[in-house]
């Protein structure tokens, strides 16, 4: 790998330990340059903490108070900055290896409740029918309101084989209870098959340490099975919430011969990092279609943006999630870790997709089954998260893209469109473009007959 950098869920993880004392020293140096009001506010915090510790009606848990204060501070920044205690940090480290215990669900926090980003394929969550955009308001009867995201995730995890009941709100209807049984989540991040006898189909459900190995195994299978008969490849990134940055770079590099894959830009100009492709294309120049939708986020968007900008792939589906910020994971000397938003990432053409997402080249929306018609199966994307970073380029923010994918491949319009495209069939969008309102004072667009 070119950099020992990682993207966890929707963010970047930079490996390396930073001691708590060093962090406090850095804070002190920065604080020395700030105005005296900052010190007054820090003294205020200390006064409140001492008063609560001394006079609260019951003896408080001091560690819990400090963690709550830290989380409150980070929550005021953006939806992706947070504090992880030792156990949560250990759990996160396990998850990036692609094997962990739990329900198999990617979530975020919105308006005090847990919002489903997407269930992971072949897990208790997906088998139970949980969907993107579902809101989890209770866990085993306990209100989620007031919990941090890490607390809620920790509560959903547990001993394999034990049951858990989630109270879910879908499409603003009445809450319903969903019972699930915890299982060992083995994320097989890459699955593959041959479609139409001559097309290699690769489904990447998340970017873990196993992803590149799985991708190379898939490409080898197509090479030995199809040989020169292969017409092209479909990379399915729908409802893929992201994962490790080095895997996103590696997957992109697999199909690129040269050029930039992604860059990250922080608060200061000298923090910019660029990641470039190396020579070699495992697809040997064969055409590629990438499938995306409203659940495709972060690492998925890095791959989609890189292949789109280099005109190496055609994107089919609906607009992606729009998670374009970078989180640095800073270990705190054995006291957990800090997940802090430190930069934005950019596609090779310099596009920031933060709160906008990546638009498909050919927009194809799935047809909803009768039981879902009239219901909201779209995600609001990053732009719908409270406190999200705005796109520094300005303009309209994205959101509202469908995240529905039929289980039955014969009913999958996006997959069918990809197969038709690779077979040379002209594929057009099945969504009517929005009519633009004429500018004030402009004459209507007319054609003489």
Catalogue the active-site residues: 298, 309, 323
Helices and strands in the chain: count of H runs, count of E runs: 10, 23
Q: Round to whole Å and give the CA distance between 56 and 51.
A: 8
Q: Among candidates 188, 353, 348, which has minimal Cα distance to 253?
A: 348
Within 205-336, strands assigned E span 232-236, 260-266, 273-276, 288-292, 314-317, 325-331
Phi-psi region of 330 (alpha: psi -120 to 50; beta: other; left: phi over 0): beta
Residue 428 CB: number of other CB atoms within 10 A?
A: 9
Cβ partners under 8 Å of residue 68, min gap 6 = 148
Contacts 24+ apart (CB under 8 A), 339-342: 339/8, 339/11, 339/74, 339/80, 339/81, 339/82, 339/83, 339/84, 340/74, 340/77, 340/81, 341/11, 341/77, 341/78, 341/80, 341/81, 341/389, 342/12, 342/266, 342/267, 342/271
Pair 12, 5: CB distance under 8 Å: yes
Cβ partners under 8 Å of residue 82, min gap 6 = 71, 74, 75, 148, 149, 150, 339
Q: Among candidates 317, 384, 396, which has minimal Cα distance to 79?
A: 384
Helix (H, G, I), strand (E, B) or coil at 148: coil
Q: What is the number of alpha carbons within 13 Å of residue 185 lying toward its C-beta?
A: 32
Q: What is the number of alpha carbons within 13 Å of residue 152 lying toward its C-beta?
A: 28
């Amino acid at each position: 790998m070119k950099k020992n950098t990682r993207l966890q869920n929707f963010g970047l993880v930079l490996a390396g330990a930073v001691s708590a004392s060093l962090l406090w020293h850095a804070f002190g140096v920065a604080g020395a340059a700030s105005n005296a009001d900052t010190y007054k506010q820090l003294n205020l915090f200390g006064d409140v903490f001492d008063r609560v510790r001394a006079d609260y009606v019951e003896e408080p848990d001091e560690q819990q108070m400090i963690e709550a204060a830290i989380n409150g501070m980070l929550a005021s920044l953006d939806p992706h900055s947070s504090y992880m205690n030792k156990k949560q940090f250990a759990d996160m480290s396990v998850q990036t290896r692609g094997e962990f215990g739990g329900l198999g669900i990617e979530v975020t926090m919105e308006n005090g409740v847990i919002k489903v980003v997407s269930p992971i394929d072949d897990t208790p969550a997906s088998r139970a029918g949980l969907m993107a955009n579902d809101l989890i308001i209770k866990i085993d009867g306990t209100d989620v309101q007031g919990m941090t995201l890490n607390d809620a995730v920790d509560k959903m995890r547990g001993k394999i084989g034990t049951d858990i009941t989630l109270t879910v709100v879908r499409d603003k209807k009445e809450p319903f209870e969903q019972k699930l049984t915890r299982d060992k989540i083995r994320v097989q991040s890459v699955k593959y098959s041959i479609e139409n006898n001559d097309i290699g189909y690769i489904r990447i459900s998340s970017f873990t340490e196993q992803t590149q190995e799985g991708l190379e195994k898939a490409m080898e299978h197509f090479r030995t099975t199809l040989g020169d008969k292969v017409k092209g490849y479909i990379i399915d990134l729908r409802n893929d919430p992201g994962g490790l940055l080095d895997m996103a770079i590696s997957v992109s590099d697999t199909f690129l011969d040269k050029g930039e894959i992604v860059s990250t830009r922080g608060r200061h100009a000298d923090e910019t990092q660029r990641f470039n492709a190396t020579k070699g294309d495992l697809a040997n120049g064969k055409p590629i279609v990438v499938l995306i939708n409203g659940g495709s986020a972060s690492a998925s968007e890095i791959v989609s943006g890189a292949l789109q900008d280099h005109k190496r792939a055609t994107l089919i589906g609906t607009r992606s999630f729009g998670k374009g910020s970078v989180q640095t994971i800073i270990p705190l000397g054995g006291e957990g870790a800090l997940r802090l938003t430190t930069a934005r990432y950019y596609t090779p053409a310099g596009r920031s997709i933060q709160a906008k997402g990546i638009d498909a080249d050919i927009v194809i929306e799935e047809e909803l089954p009768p039981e879902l018609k009239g219901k909201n199966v779209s995600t609001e994307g990053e732009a719908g998260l409270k406190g999200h970073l705005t796109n520094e380029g300005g303009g309209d923010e994205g959101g509202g893209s469908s995240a529905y994918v039929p289980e039955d491949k014969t009913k999958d319009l996006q997959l069918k469109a990809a197969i038709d495209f690779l077979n040379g069939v002209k594929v057009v969008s099945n969504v009517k473009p929005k009519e633009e309102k004429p500018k004030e004072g402009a004459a209507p667009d007319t054609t003489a007959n």
